[in-house]
Amino acid sequence: MRPTFLVLAAASLSATIVASSRAEEDAAPIFGITIPPGYREWKVISVAHEAGKLNDLRAILGNDIAYKAAREGQLPYPDGSIVARVAWGYEPLPESAEAFGQAQSFVAGKPTNVQFMVKDSAKYASTGGWGFAQFDNGKPASEAVHNACFACHAIAKGRDLVFNRYAP
């Protein structure tokens, strides 16, 4: 084996190790979920306003499997379903206040965080078949945050743990 090849092989191995530890760093604790590519362009299941302390506007998006299941009211959601909850600050729209003569239009401001539910009934059998993940500025939230997901979503157990219904 020529030295050049050995050097290249070592460089490649080292790149693999870096990529692998970066992937672990990017994965949510407990469930090991990473951000699904292209989720921002998924179809809309529903929209919502979370008042109270969170005070955000949100879109609930689905990959093709989840969107179809939601639209058709299919429960439980099939394996491969991913639901994305995108949220933004709740902000008044100045131009609209001018149009209506009062502040009454609230629009999406800066993004807050993104959450995902990933259906894999075997892998996530102990949490109702769903894995949960939250990312703040692209980085996974803490283990404590992820420990709370299933307990809260269990309230929606009659709807396979998904709070939102399809908005027709």
In this complex, which beta carbon is closest to its own copies, that of residue 31 or of residue 42?
A: 42
Minimum CB separation from its own copies for residue 49, in Å?
A: 5
Minimum CB separation from its own copies for residue 141, in Å?
A: 18
**Contacts of residue 127, Cβ cutoff 8 Å, sequence gap at least 6:** 31, 149, 150
Amino acid at 14: S
Diameter of the chain by CA atoms? 79
Catalog residues that contact its own copies under the rule CB under 8 A: 40-41, 43-44, 46-52, 54, 57-59, 61, 67, 86, 88, 90, 93, 95-96, 98-100, 102, 104-111, 152, 155-156, 159, 163-165, 167-168
Minimum CB separation from its own copies for residue 78, in Å?
A: 19
In this complex, which beta carbon is closest to its own copies, that of residue 28 or of residue 108?
A: 108
Minimum CB separation from its own copies for residue 115, in Å?
A: 14
Beta bridge partners of 35: none
Amino acid at 86: V
State how far the alpha carbon of 10 is from the alpha carbons of 7, 13, 14, 141, in Å: 5, 5, 6, 34
d(CA 50, CA 62): 19
d(CA 91, CA 88): 9
Task: Tokens for 63, please give them.
Answer: 């990959």
In this complex, which beta carbon is closest to its own copies, that of residue 36 or of residue 111?
A: 111
In this complex, which beta carbon is closest to its own copies, that of residue 47 or of residue 65?
A: 47
d(CA 62, CA 165): 12
Minimum CB separation from its own copies for residue 33, in Å?
A: 21
In this complex, which beta carbon is closest to its own copies, that of residue 37 or of residue 168?
A: 168
d(CA 120, CA 92): 39
